[in-house]
Amino acid sequence: MQDNVVGIDLGTTNSLIGTIVEGKIKLFGDASGGELMPSVVGMDEAGAILVGRAARNRRVLDPQGTVVSVKRRMGTEERVRVGKRELTPPQVSALILGALLDRAQAALGARPDRAIITVPAWFNDAQREATRNAGEIAGLRVERLVNEPTAAALTYQTGSEECVLVYDLGGGTFDVSILDRDQDFLEVKASRGDTQLGGDDIDRELCELVLKRIGSARENVDRDPRAMTRLVEAVERAKIALSDREEVRLFDPFLAGEGDRAVHLDLPLTRADVEQVARPLVERTLRCIDEALADAGTKPNALSRVLLVGGSSKMPIVATMVSKHLGMPVQVDAEADRAVALGASMLAGRAAGAEVAEVLVDITPHTLSVGVLDLMDLDYGAPEGEEDLAAAPVVPRDTVVPVERSRTFYTTHENQDEVRVPVVQGEGPRVGDNTWLGHLTVEGLPPSPARSPVEVVFKLDLSGVLHATAKHVPSGRAATVTFADSPYRLTAQKRGAARKEVEELRALVPQAPAPGKASESELSLARSMLQRAERALAASPDAEASIRDRVQAAMKELGEAQSAGSERTQELIDKLSDALLDMT
């Protein structure tokens, strides 16, 4: 019997979980069958933790106590507020992972304790370790961290030789990878990316565009968190709808304020508006494409296919700009927002013992270096601190992993009693320009002349964990550090405390609704949507009859579902929201 190993796409906007079941990839959904789970965490009035759709529904009521896009904060020292509690980003991510594991347990009959988790290819060590910490806080043994574009490429098998560019534009991060496929052998040649670029940025720019059009009334919206949240959600829904339409209407009576100071949102939004704000952001991704191609030593005309994955890649302007830039058609899959999870599930199945033919060869996206004294610097005086030392590469970016590389350096003074070697990650010329990993320190050296050799060996495993050794060659003295135990790695004590707090919070998760029934958060949102629709109809007496009929029909369906507590409530909320976009 196969072990229960799962593949997880821990996304900025949505997350998914799956594995191979009876020889086929299976993504696990909720009680209503929805596979995409919003990566949102909140808390209800009673102090119970909400994760996923329930948290997203509550965000309008408690925007400041609801966490979205926590992936962008991974690897930072920030703390975020969930209701009245303050948590670390890994703890919030662990709550999301716990909800995903609940789905897997319901489907498999046992709770998985091992996982393959995907991360943006451009994540640095701090961000990767934060992701690993989140998995361990959730009770998982993280078998491997896999770069998202690489996982996505696994799902597009052709069995032939080709060079593939995978363009992954998600809700909060962007990656591009160049891969060579030879039958069942898939090798990553180069990766580039931006961990602060995605659909969230387009939504933010669209909100700014709408606020400018509101004029002086924007002050009332800016200082009202609930109003801003409603605006963000309206803009996001409009952006998605404009992939298939030329124009929609943002309509929300009494968006903010009361009485004479009330702000009524009633503005058109066009596909041209979306393209206006998205264009400079997409141009940033094109620069990453050029850098990845250069690193891979590949020209656009050598590409066999261009795959667009990630939910934000579905915007028409993305395909148009990428295709024009590369001079070739691109492939936008209907499963663009599931591709990464499907690849992760395939790898999880292999880890559990399923037969998977594909052989994956990945790379390290960032250079790994040590800090050394550049003798040319001595002409200007010795560096004041370690941050001014030169960063000497040991493992260049885009090196295939696993890998072992060594370089020899030399002591600077006679009779040095120790060698202290800073280890950093990044492309900067100086230690201070890069991400700090830690030190290698060899102590107790016997007397020896200046320029005694010191050999530095870096071993990098499949998950990007660095095992580094510095050896003073004349004496044989050495020091080894595994940078899984880097400053970003939680100690066993801290990990245990974080896990205990998360488990206490998970114990407060509301009981799932009975089969066929809606949750309390869905019913509350339904009531709010029906009130909003009534105000919209009253404020738009001149709207086209066909549109009014559509809104009224959607209201009738939702009202009946809400009264019955039907599991279709969320589906019909979305239907009514779409109908309101056409109000004029």
What's this model's pTM, rounded to 2 decimal places?
0.83
Token pair for 319: 């395909």
Residue 583 half-sphere exposure, CB side, CA atoms within 13 Å? 26
Handedness of CA 257, 259, 263, 264 (dihedral sign): positive
Beta strands (DSSP E) in 329-434 are 331-332, 359-364, 368-372, 390-395, 399-401, 403-410, 418-425
In the chain, how many H helices and how many E strands? 14, 27
CA–CA distance, 32 with 515 (Å, rounded to integer) = 9
pLDDT digits (tens, 9 = 90+) for 289-327: 999 999 999 999 999 999 999 989 999 999 999 999 999
Whether residue 235 contacts residue 203, with contact meaning beta carbons closer than 8 Å, is answered with yes
Type and span of the H or E element at 470: strand 466-472
Superfamily the domain 157-334 falls into: ATPase, nucleotide binding domain (3.30.420.40)
- Topology agreement, domain 1-155+335-359 and domain 366-485: no
Neighbours of 76 (CB within 10 A): 13
Residue 584: predicted pLDDT: 53
Q: Which amino acid is at 191?
A: S
Token pair for 391: 């960063």
CA–CA distance, 58 with 68 (Å, rounded to integer) = 12
Token pair for 268: 């058109």
Question: Could you give the 3-state DSSP secondary structure of residue 26?
Answer: strand
Residues 6+ apart with CB under 8 A from 103: 17, 28, 29, 30, 37
Instruction: Assess whether the previous peptide bond of 402 is cis (omega < 30° from 0).
Output: yes
Crossing angle of helices 125-137/492-506, nearest 10°? 50
The phi and psi torsions of 142 (rounded to 5 degrees) equal: -85, 105
CA–CA distance, 574 with 584 (Å, rounded to integer) = 19
pLDDT digits (tens, 9 = 90+) for 158-214: 667 789 999 999 999 999 999 998 766 788 899 999 999 999 999 999 999 999 998
Largest CA-CA distance found in the chain, in angstroms, rounded: 93
Q: Which amino acid is at 363?
A: I
Using DSSP bridges, classify how beta strands 114-119 and 5-9 pair: parallel, antiparallel or unpaired.
parallel
Whether residue 428 contacts residue 436, with contact meaning beta carbons closer than 8 Å, is answered with no
> Alpha carbon of 265 to those of 231, 252, 535, 584: distances in Å?
9, 5, 12, 12
The phi and psi torsions of 33 (rounded to 5 degrees) equal: 95, -5
Residues 6+ apart with CB under 8 A from 545: none
Whether residue 165 contacts residue 307, with contact meaning beta carbons closer than 8 Å, is answered with yes
Superfamily the domain 1-155+335-359 falls into: ATPase, nucleotide binding domain (3.30.420.40)
Kindly give the confidence (pLDDT) of every residue in the chain, 584 residues in length, as a single tens digit, with 9 standing for 90 and above. Answer: 456 899 999 999 999 999 999 888 999 998 777 899 999 999 888 788 999 988 888 888 888 899 999 999 998 889 999 988 999 999 999 999 999 999 999 999 999 999 999 999 889 888 998 999 999 999 999 999 999 998 988 887 666 778 999 999 999 999 999 999 876 678 889 999 999 999 999 999 999 999 999 888 888 888 888 889 989 988 998 999 998 889 998 888 778 776 667 787 888 999 999 999 999 999 999 999 999 999 999 999 999 999 999 989 999 999 999 999 999 999 987 678 899 999 999 999 888 877 665 566 788 888 999 999 876 655 555 567 888 899 999 999 888 888 999 999 999 889 988 899 999 999 999 999 998 888 889 998 999 999 999 999 999 887 777 889 999 999 999 988 877 555 566 777 888 888 888 888 888 766 666 777 877 777 877 888 888 788 878 777 777 888 888 888 988 988 888 888 888 888 888 888 778 777 65
Token pair for 260: 């004479």
Token pair for 433: 């320009």
pLDDT digits (tens, 9 = 90+) for 204-256: 999 999 999 988 888 888 888 888 998 998 899 899 999 888 999 888 877 87
CA 491 to chain centre: 24
Superfamily the domain 366-485 falls into: Substrate Binding Domain Of DNAk; Chain A, domain 1 (2.60.34.10)
The single residue listed with the structure tokens 């590949």 is 298
Residue 116 half-sphere exposure, CB side, CA atoms within 13 Å? 27
CA–CA distance, 269 with 244 (Å, rounded to integer) = 13
Virtual torsion, Cα 52, 54, 57, 62, nearest 10 deg: -100
Question: Could you give the 3-state DSSP secondary structure of residue 272?
Answer: helix
The phi and psi torsions of 436 (rounded to 5 degrees) equal: -75, 130
Q: Where exactly are the structural domains of the chain? A: 1-155+335-359, 157-334, 366-485, 520-580
